Amino acid sequence: MRIDVITLFPEFIQAAMAVGVVGRAQQRGLLDVQVWNPRDYATDNHRSVDGRVCGGGRGMVMKIDPLC
């Protein structure tokens, strides 16, 4: 089974997936976890992956360009 994870903190996810039941499944070849950092695909100078919410309000929204 393959699981893809999109995260801004790939090192954290990889460390967490290396232990416990998930870690043993990966060692046995039963599970393949791929971790993707959207910053690797950002095209601007600051490698930004989020933007302000349209219409105001709190929080940020992921940009579609790095995810495509």
pLDDT recorded at residue 1: 93
pLDDT at 66: 82
pLDDT at 44: 83
User: Which pLDDT score, from 0 to 100, does residue 30 have?
Assistant: 96
Q: Residue 48's pLDDT is what?
A: 84
The Cα 12–Cα 23 span in angstroms is: 14
> Taking the model in full, what pTM does it have?
0.75
Low-confidence residues of the chain, pLDDT below 70?
none
CA 7 to CA 17: how far, in whole Å? 13
**What's the rounded Cα separation, in Å, for the pair 26 and 13?**
14
Identify the pLDDT of residue 3.
93
